[in-house]
C-alpha cells in the first residue's frame, strides 16, 4: 500500500499523470477525507493564483521580434551566400540599390498611388517586418558609404527573391532586379525610410533601366525635398513610397537608382518590398509579395551638395 504522502504529492501536481496514476489517485481520494479536503484547498489556491492580474506584454513586442528576426535572417543569409555568384537565364542579375541619404523622397509615380493602398500598407506594416529602428548615427565625413544590394525576383509570384546584402565601394548604389521566373503583371516597389537628420535638404534622382528596352534609360526627374519638409521622423505611412513599374517579363531587368545627398548628420535605414501583382482593388497583393530587403547608410555628414 502506498504511503499517504505519495497521493498527496500526486494531488499537488496532478497534470500529466498517467492513466494508472489517475486511477490510483481517484480510488484513494474516494476513501480519504483528508485528501478530499486537500483537493478542495488546492482548487481554491489555484483559483486565487489564476485570477490575479499579471503584467501583459507591450503592444510592440510582435513588431520588435519580427524586425529582429528579419535582421537575423539577413545576416544569416549573408554568411551563407557570401561569395556566391548568381546567374540568371542568360542574364546577370545585378541591381544596385543606391541609397546615399536618409531623406524619404516621394517618387513621382507615388502621386498616382491610390490612398487606399497607403492605408493598406499601414494596416499590414507590422507583418511586413520593416525596420523601425536605426542602428548608427553618422556624423562627419564627406559622404555616405555606398551600399550594394543584389536582389532577384524569384520563380513565380510570391517566391523568395532576396539574395545578398553586402556593402561595396562605389559612387552610386542602385537596386537591380532581375526576374528569373515567369512574367509578372506588376512590379510594385514600396520603400520605407526613417531616421533623423538635420533639416538641411536632400535631393533624389530615380532612374529605371529595363533590359527589355534594350538598355534604354527611362529616367524620372529629380525630386527635391526642401529642408522644411525634413526632420526627425519615425517609420509611418507618410514615409512609404510606392511605385508601380508595370509588368516585368521573364528575364527582364529593372534598375532603380536612388542618389541622395546626405545632410549634415543623419542615420537611417531603408526597407524595400516588392510585389508581383495587384489584387482586384488595385492594391499590392499580399499573396504576391516577393520579398523585402534592407539597406543602411553608415555615411553622412557634410553640407548638402546642391
**Closest distance to another protein from the beta carbon of 279 (Å):** 19
Closer of 12 and 92 to another protein (Cβ)? 12
Name the residue nearer to another protein (CB basis): 84 or 306: 84
Q: Which stretch binds another protein (CB under 8 A): 4-12, 88-96, 261-269, 295-303?
A: 4-12
The count of residues interacting with another protein (CB under 8 A) is 39
Site string for another protein, 114-153 (x = CB under 8 A): ---------------x------------------------
43 versus 142: smaller Cβ distance to another protein: 43
Residue appearing with cell numbers 507615388: 110
Dig out the grid coordinates for 252 from the structure. Answer: 527582364
Helix (H, G, I), strand (E, B) or coil at 11: helix
CB of 205 to another protein, least distance (A): 33
Between CA 70 and CA 162 the distance in angstroms is 12
Q: Is 213 in the site for another protein (CB under 8 A)?
A: no
Q: Per DSSP, which regions of 171-277 are E strands? A: 174-179, 188-197, 201-204, 206-210, 216-219, 223-226, 240-244, 253-258, 265-275
Of 9, 108, 142, 287, the one binding another protein by CB under 8 A: 9
From the centroid of its chain, how far is CA 249? 26
Closest CA to 157 of 267, 31, 287, 32: 287
Helix boundaries (H) for the chain: 4-12, 19-31, 33-50, 61-81, 115-123
CA distance 78 to 84: 10
Closest CB to another protein among residues 29, 145: 29
Question: Which of 1, 2, 16, 83 is in the footprint of another protein by CB under 8 A?
Answer: 16
What's the gap between Cα 118 and its chain centre? 16
Q: How far apart are CA 248 and CA 261, in angstroms?
A: 29
Min separation Cβ 159 and another protein, Å: 10
In the range 22-41, which residues lie near another protein by CB under 8 A?
A: 38, 41
Site for another protein in 41-100 (CB under 8 A): 41-42, 44-58, 61-62, 64-66, 68-69, 72-73, 76
C-alpha cell, 39: 483537493
Q: Which residues lie near another protein (CB under 8 A)?
A: 5, 8-13, 15-16, 38, 41-42, 44-58, 61-62, 64-66, 68-69, 72-73, 76, 129, 160
Amino acid at each position: 500500500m502506498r504511503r499517504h504522502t505519495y497521493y498527496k504529492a500526486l494531488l499537488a501536481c496532478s497534470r500529466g499523470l498517467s492513466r494508472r496514476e489517475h486511477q490510483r489517485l481517484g480510488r484513494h481520494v474516494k476513501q480519504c477525507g483528508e485528501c478530499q479536503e486537500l483537493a478542495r484547498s488546492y482548487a481554491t489556491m489555484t483559483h486565487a493564483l489564476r485570477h490575479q492580474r499579471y503584467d501583459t506584454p507591450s503592444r510592440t513586442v510582435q513588431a520588435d521580434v519580427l524586425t529582429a528576426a528579419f535582421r537575423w535572417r539577413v545576416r544569416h543569409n549573408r554568411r551563407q551566400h557570401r561569395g556566391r555568384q548568381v546567374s540568371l537565364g542568360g542574364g546577370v542579375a545585378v541591381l544596385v540599390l543606391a541609397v546615399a541619404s536618409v531623406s524619404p523622397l516621394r517618387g513621382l509615380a507615388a502621386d498616382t498611388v491610390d490612398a487606399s493602398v497607403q492605408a493598406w500598407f499601414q494596416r499590414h506594416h507590422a507583418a511586413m517586418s520593416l525596420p523601425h529602428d536605426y542602428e548608427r548615427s553618422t556624423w562627419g565625413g564627406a559622404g555616405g558609404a555606398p551600399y550594394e544590394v543584389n536582389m532577384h525576383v524569384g520563380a513565380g509570384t510570391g517566391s523568395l527573391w532576396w539574395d545578398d546584402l553586402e556593402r561595396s565601394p562605389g559612387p552610386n548604389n542602385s537596386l537591380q532586379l532581375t526576374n528569373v521566373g515567369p512574367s509578372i503583371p506588376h512590379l510594385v516597389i514600396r520603400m520605407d525610410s526613417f531616421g533623423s537628420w538635420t533639416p538641411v535638404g536632400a535631393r533624389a534622382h530615380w532612374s529605371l533601366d529595363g533590359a527589355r528596352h534594350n538598355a534604354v534609360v527611362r529616367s524620372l526627374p529629380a525630386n527635391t525635398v526642401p529642408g522644411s519638409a525634413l526632420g526627425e521622423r519615425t517609420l509611418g505611412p507618410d514615409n512609404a513610397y510606392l511605385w508601380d513599374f508595370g509588368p516585368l517579363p521573364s528575364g527582364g531587368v529593372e534598375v532603380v537608382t536612388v542618389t541622395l545627398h546626405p545632410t549634415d548628420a543623419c542615420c537611417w535605414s531603408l526597407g524595400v518590398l516588392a510585389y508581383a501583382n495587384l489584387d482586384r482593388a488595385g492594391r499590392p497583393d499580399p499573396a504576391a509579395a516577393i520579398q523585402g530587403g534592407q539597406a543602411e547608410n553608415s555615411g553622412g555628414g557634410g553640407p548638402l551638395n546642391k
